[in-house]
Structure 1
Amino acid sequence: MTQRCTRILPAGAEHPVPVDVVVLAHDQRHLRRKLLHLQHGEMVMLDLKEAVMLAHGDMLALDDGNVVEVIAAEEKVYDIRPRDRLHLIELAWHLGNRHLPAQIEEERIVILSDPVIRTMLEGLGASVSEANEPFHPVRGAYHQAGGGHSHGHSHSHGHDHSHGHDHSRGHHHHD
């Protein structure tokens, strides 16, 4: 019989020892209702009131009182290294401006592999190397676990950013 899960216990919370694990890539962790295949062959029907972004270490609370641990799968990513802290902020801005999921750390940024973005980042002076590791992007305002907002944000991408202002001042390039 397939177990059901109707609630999530956040990573780090007190919980029983997990009876199994489910390994999911970053784009498979945004869920509301789905049949999940556990590592040892069992299945769990995830049936939540609203969609959540599951994090590595979250626990699926099963109807029988047991829990299943969510594990972030290894993915092909880029390990992006800036020249310094300010450069890291500039790189993060460029990635955010393109609405790319990014894992931002003290010394590096991690994104999913994308050759076009790699070329852009290298053009901006970043060191980019390939890696295989779990991807933990920053949870944005529209992807909070346990609630938050839907994807229904109204944000026009076709609008004119000029607003009649002279944006040429303050722009400088680093060599």
Structure 2
Amino acid sequence: MIRVREVRARAEAPADTITLDETARHRRRMVMTSDGGIDILLDLPRARLLRHGEGLVLEDGRVIEVRAVPEDLVAVSGRDRRHLNALAWQIGNRHLAAQIEDDRILIRRDHVIEAMLTGLGAGLDFVDEPFDPEGGAYDEMAGTSSRHHVHHGHGHEHEHPHEHRHGHGHAHAHEHDPVAGGGHSHDVAMPRTGAERSTD
């Protein structure tokens, strides 16, 4: 078995690929088998999401390209940028994994959420695509977490490394209501599970 010694943002001249869904790609330590049958040990300092197109660099120098399995998703669109910002806040306030793009937001299928978004005037398209959600309070990368904040009326989105750490081991990220301008909610770090042979 070969150990992964680093993860690169882009896989150049990969020797093989490994195809995983979003849940299986969020790991710290796990034994995995590439699409071509190479047994590898992922052993990272902290849990993170392996993103589509990244490269797992093995101890012998070979690179395994990460590929995301296409998933059953909903592409959420708004009437304009401000409307999309408000929809993004509604999605984030419900602690849903979301992939935020310039003109749409990708989330997993959920008939309750779909009905809510339709009631708010959102456009919904059902797609089958790889899913690379934004990092959140559960996704500690480089020792910090970021929660995607959407501010109503500013016409833009930005991220803040805006979390509080407490002695009981939870990380809390604040989200502020872009409509009411007041209250906030807490997103609590939770462990992830999957079908792979996790050693962590």
For the superposition of Structure 1 and Structure 2, which TM-score range results when normalised by the shorter chain?
0.7 to 0.9
Corresponding residue for 2:40? 44
- For residues 90 and 132 of structure 2, the distance between their equivalents in structure 1, rounded to whole angstroms, comes to 19
Contact 1:54 1:145 in 2 (8 A): no
- Please list every run of 5 or more consecutive structure 1 residues that lacks an aligned counterpart in the other structure: 157-166, 168-175
TM value normalised by structure 2: 0.69
Whether the 8 Å contact between 2:47 and 2:140 is mirrored in structure 1 is no
Count of matched residue pairs: 153
Corresponding residue to 1:79 among 72, 75, 81: 75
Distance 1:6 1:147 in 2: 18
Q: Deviations over 1:48-91 (max 9, x none)?
A: 22212211121111011111111111000001121111110010
Structure 1: which amino acid aligns with 2:20?
L
Mark the runs of 5 or more structure 2 residues left unpaired by the alignment: 146-164, 175-179, 181-200
Q: 1:23 aligned to 2:19? A: yes
* C-alpha separation in 1, matches of 2:142 and 2:63: 17
Identity %: 41
Partner of 1:6: 5
Q: Measure the CA separation in 2 of the matches of 1:7 and 1:148.
A: 18
Q: TM-score, structure 1 length as denominator?
A: 0.78
Greater strand fraction, Structure 1 or Structure 2:
2
Stretches of 4+ moved more than 6 A in 1? none
SS of equivalent to 2:87? helix
CA-based RMSD of the aligned residues comes to: 2.2
Find the aligned partners of 2:172 and 2:86 in 1 and give their Cα distance: 25
CA distance in structure 2 between the aligned counterparts of 1:121 and 1:127, rounded to whole angstroms:
8
Write the distance in 2 (CA, Å) between the matches of 1:80 and 1:124: 11
Greater Rg by CA: 1
Letter in 1 for 2:171: H
**1:60 counterpart = 2:78:** no
Q: What's the CA shift for 1:35?
A: 1.1
Query: Once the two structures are superposed, what CA deviation does each residue of 1:132-165 show, in whole Å capped at 9, x if it has no partner?
Result: 0011212235424343359821479xxxxxxxxx
The equivalences for 1:25-174 within 5 A come to 25-140=21-136, 142-149=138-145, 152-154=170-172
Please give the alpha-carbon distance, in whole angstroms, between the structure 2 residues aligned to 1:43 and 1:68: 11
